[in-house]
Amino acid sequence: MKKQFAVIGLGRFGGSICKALSAEGMDVLAIDMDEHKVNELAPIVTQAVIADGTDEKALKSLGIRNFDQVVVAIGDDIQASILTTLILDDMGVKNIIAKAQNDYHAKVLAKIGADEIVHPERDIGVRIAHNVVSENVLDYLELSDEYSIVELVAGPTINNKSIVDLDLRTRYGCNILAIKRGEEIKVSPYPEEKILTQDVLIVIGADKDINRLENRWIDEEGNA
Ligand code: ATP
């Protein structure tokens, strides 16, 4: 059976989640207090309803308990976001994903029953900062406080070196998950695989090791 999602709060974040899920062919119930926001999304989602997330009765009548995942994407009104999450947890919603405005908000959401907390503004900030600071880094995904996955562009001096030659695992504690070469992507590349200039390497590791790697990516002798 198709998974059923509900999204409460249709700002930029909630709205894009609705669009992305609908594009994947999922069933989406979109909820907002603001009629304009609801009307905007109505043509895209399965059902769009004007309702207040803090109104327990309204949520009950929508059968919110039966949804596989409910996303609380209320932003500025932290009180409404907390109250909505609390009500959903109380009603027995299986999986609640809540958007946090800051770390305190996140802590409260975790305590009152959010199963997953997202910090879109903070995450995008970290991502942009990382991309701006390091010219080799194309993209960046934080897995936890300590670990990340990054996309690094291979410079000319490591051209034609194999993964064994580079020995990133021993020297930097990092692993190459995949190599992107134009349209082609080699997942779990063999140790003998040669890296070419302009290849994009998808590397996983501890942040401190990735930072070392980025800083020494290409030294004067051309050693990675
Ligand atoms: P974004 O960055 O995603 O645009 P934001 O941080 O600016 O969001 P808001 O615009 O404050 O967040 O809230 C997102 C949406 O949540 C708005 O469309 C707002 O109408 C809706 N919203 C706020 N409170 C409630 C509530 N109690 N019930 C339902 N929707 C709500």
* pLDDT tens track for 35-59: 999 999 999 999 999 999 999 999 9
> Is residue 130 very low, low, confident or very high in pLDDT (cuts 50, 70, 90)?
low
Verify whether ligand 1 is closer than 6 Å to residue 55 (CB atom).
Answer: no
Residue 171 token pair: 């020297």
| 220 pLDDT tier (thresholds 50, 70, 90) | very low
Residue with tokens 């809540």: 98
Residue 165 pLDDT > 50: yes
Residue 2, H or E segment: none
Domain extent, residue 46, equals: 4-118
Q: How confident is the model at residue 156 (pLDDT cuts 50, 70, 90)?
A: confident
Q: Is residue 220 part of a domain?
A: no
Cα(6) to centroid(ligand 1), Å: 14
15 lines ligand 1 (CB under 6 A): no
Instruction: Tell me which H or E stretch contains 15.
Output: helix 12-23
Residue 78 belongs to a domain = yes
Give the number of the atom of ligand 1 that is nearest the alpha carbon of residue 14: 3
Same domain, 127 and 200: yes
State the distance from the centre of ligand 1 to the C-alpha of 56, rounded, in angstroms: 18
* 12 and 109 inside one domain: yes
Q: Is the CB of 75 under 6 A from ligand 1?
A: yes
What ligand 1 atom has the least distance to the C-alpha of 37?
18
Q: Which of 76-85, 167-176, 208-217 bottoms out in mean pLDDT, i.e. has the lowest?
A: 208-217
Which residue's structure tokens are 């990054």?
Answer: 150
Looking at residue 59, which CATH number applies to its domain?
3.40.50.720
Strand 137-142, strand 147-153: pairing: antiparallel
Does residue 14 have a pLDDT over 90?
A: yes
Last residue of a domain, one of 118, 133, 153: 118
Each as own residue / partner, the long-range contacts of residues 1-5 (CB below 8 Å, 24 or more positions apart, any chain) are 2/26, 2/27, 3/27, 3/68, 3/69, 4/28, 4/29, 4/66, 4/67, 4/68, 4/69, 5/29, 5/67, 5/68, 5/69, 5/70, 5/71
**73 pLDDT band (50/70/90 cuts)?**
very high
Do 61 and 129 fall within a single domain? Answer: no
Instruction: Tell whether 25 and 106 lie within a shared domain.
Output: yes
**Is any atom of ligand 1 closer than 6 Å to the C-beta of 120?**
no
> Mean pLDDT over residues 152-160, rounded?
84
Q: Is residue 28 part of a domain?
A: yes
Q: How many domains does the chain have?
A: 2
Please indicate, yes or no, if residue 177 is contained in any of the structural domains: yes
Domain boundary (118, 136, 161) is at 118
Looking at the fold, whether 109 and 132 belong to one and the same domain comes out as: no
Q: What is the pLDDT of residue 79?
A: 96
- From 87, 118, 149, give the residue that closes a domain: 118
Residue 222 pLDDT grade (very low, low, confident, very high; cuts 50, 70, 90): very low
